[in-house]
Amino acid sequence: MPLASGKRIAAAVRRSLRGYGWLVLVTLVVLVAAAALELVTPWGLGHMVDIASGSGGHRATSVWRTGGLMVAAAIASALLTGLGVALAGRLLETMLARLRESLVTTALSLPAAEVERAGTGDLVSRATDDVSTVGAAIGRALPALSTSSFAVGVSIVGLAALDWRFLAVVVVTLPMYVWAVRVYLARAPQVYAAERAAVADRAQHVLASIRGLDTARAFGLGRILAAAIAVGSWAAVVWAMRARLVQNRLWGRMNTAEFLGMATILVVGFYLVRDGSLTVGATTTAMLLFLQLFGPIGGVLMVFDDVQSALASLSRIVGVIDAADRVDDTGGPERLPHTRSERVVIDRVGFGYRPEHRVLHDISMTVDDGEHVAVVGASGAGKTTIAALIAGIHHPQSGRVAVRADRMVLMAQESHVFGGPLADDLRLVAPDAPDTTLYDALRTVGADDWVRRLPEGIDTVVGAEGHQLSPVQVQQIALARLVLADPDLVVLDEATSEAGSAHASILDAGAQAALAGRTAVIIAHRLEQASRADRILVMDRGRIIESGSHDQLLRRAGRYAQLWASWSADGRAGERR
């Protein structure tokens, strides 16, 4: 997935704060007032020094008056700072909430091909880790950034008000600060972006391992997957340590600038006092103002790490939001006229995931209205690619794909149950469906009995935080959603292959009922499911090598007959075991 530039991030932030301009202005005024009141304490302490040296008027009265003013200013500054931080928090949390909503909305509307190219781990990481990183950074950095940035500017104004020659400290330290920050910014964004990418890569390995857990156990791949996760985790650790090193170097340069600034204040103050241009108390105020800068600058630096990490995450979040404008999704399947009898036409199609490596070669096929066509073949033969082309996930590099369907549904191998009441999960495709319609769909696929036995029936909370459903039940829910969607054309991409032989008949019966009266292209993992289709296409190395009904293909004694014989033998052997 792409990364957003600084301009795109700024534009996204402005959009997310649209309608809150008045609150931005009030927040700025409150924070400037709070920073200005913080000047009272350095001024008061300098005035007390003058009182002690005999140049500040009546000692007792002046001390009490100055002390009271300092206390009042401190209390007012604290109250205004708290109010400013709260207002800024409201602004930034509003921004984050709108960005999160835009991210999810865009992610759901992205073409599946775009998501597949990037990897689901990348998208999941952006929607979870990156959003959490921005939220955490706001919580840690907000108080420091809200007050420190204004305190620095107000303190410099205070130095100039004492004597313009104190601005020499700015002349000396500003180049040091600018140099330190420029060196940091030249390296830090790349380091933090690489760190976030490493976290996304680690998430990809973890998600892939979890999804393929059963396969990994069956083939003893646990160590290989664990090693891949370890490599990804170590890469994330390495980039995190590099980020800490970059920040430590920044601190060292900043400390040098602070030392030079203190020395400059002392030298300028010495000459001003010697010439009688300034009192000792005023010079003390100047030093206190400069020392007061250490806190705000240090506060900003303390959260600079969080800010850089948040900017890197924002770049990834806004990159997804902007992806909708850059993705070319105009090359989907052509629309067949309603006068045609075919629902699907594939004409001399060639396709490859890489231009130099084709996985489909000169594929031609049709699917008539109401026909069930099964596609079988060995792994890597190109079956899933055909399903993706029909569904519009990928676009042919040569030839033509056309469909006639007002509503088409692709049901893939990985079914999912969303957390929440089961009724809400079903209503994703039929928001206004009453409970009776939901139970009818469940009854169609053979799931109504076990749903009625749930603690709260169709209102039972399912998912990670609720009642755990078995793999068979999850796939039955997916089939029920298919019934509720009521599509003209269905593409089943090995949608019932995960159930295992023990429950194959249950899911096959459910699938047959769900597909009744609909046009269907079935990417079949089990030949028993394919045998019920009206027509079977046999694929090998990206080509269709046989076509016909189950009985016709058996009589031909070709590749399908060999696959059927092998599959039948394995089935009988499994029964004996």
- Yes or no: say if 295 and 331 are a contact pair by the CB < 8 Å rule: no
6-326 CATH choice from 3.40.1440.10, 3.30.2270.10, 3.50.50.60, 1.20.1560.10: 1.20.1560.10
pLDDT tens digit sequence for 212-258:
776 677 667 778 888 888 888 888 888 888 888 887 888 788 888 88
Tell me the pLDDT band of 519, cut-offs 50, 70 and 90.
very high
Rounded Cα distance, 265 and 288, in Å: 10
Maximum average pLDDT range among 261-265, 327-331, 469-473, 484-488: 484-488
Rounded Cα distance, 356 and 341, in Å: 36
Q: How many residues does the chain have?
A: 577
DSSP characters for 248-276? HHHHHHHHHHHHHHHHHHHHHHHHHHHTT
pLDDT tens digit sequence for 51-101:
766 655 556 677 778 788 888 888 988 898 888 878 887 888 888 888 888
Amino acid 572: pLDDT:
44
In the chain, residues under CATH classification 1.20.1560.10 are: 6-326
The share of the chain scoring above pLDDT 70, in percent, equals 86
- What are the C-alpha distances in Å from 560 to residues 42, 252, 548, 551, 554? 90, 72, 10, 10, 7
Mean pLDDT lowest for which of 82-91, 481-490, 553-562? 82-91
Q: Class of the 342-576 domain?
A: alpha beta
* Mean pLDDT score, 548-562: 91
Kindly report the pTM of this predicted structure.
Answer: 0.61
Rounded Cα distance, 147 and 532, in Å: 71
